[in-house]
Amino acid sequence: MNESGEPTHELRSFGRRRGRTFTARQAALLADVLPGVALNLSEAPPVSVPSLFSKPVEKVWLEIGFGGAEHLLWQAKHHPGVGLIGCEVFEDGVVKALSGIKADGLDNVRIYGDDARDLLRWLPPASLERVFILFPDPWPKKRHVKRRLVSPALLTLLARAMGPGGELRIATDIGDYARTMLLALSRHPEFVWMAKGPQDWRVRPEDWPETRYEAKAKAVPRRCYYFRFGVKGVRPDPATIGLPSAS
Would you please indicate which residues are annotated as catalytic (active-site) residues? Answer: 137
The Cα–Cα gap between 88 and 116 comes to: 8
Give the bridge partners for 132, in sequence order.
Answer: 63, 169
Angle at 179 between CA 208 and CA 175, to 5 degrees: 70
Phi, psi of 161 (to 5 degrees): -70, -30
Q: How far is CA 137 from CA 65, 154, 175, 224, in A?
A: 9, 15, 13, 14
Using alpha carbons, select from 149, 64, 75 the residue that is nearest to residue 111.
64
Half-sphere exposure of 140 (CA within 13 A, CB side): 5
Contacts of 129 (CB under 8 A, 6+ apart): 59, 60, 61, 162, 165, 166, 167, 235
Q: How far is CA 103 from CA 77, 106, 107, in A?
A: 11, 8, 11
The Cα–Cα gap between 230 and 162 comes to: 10
Half-sphere exposure of 153 (CA within 13 A, CB side): 17
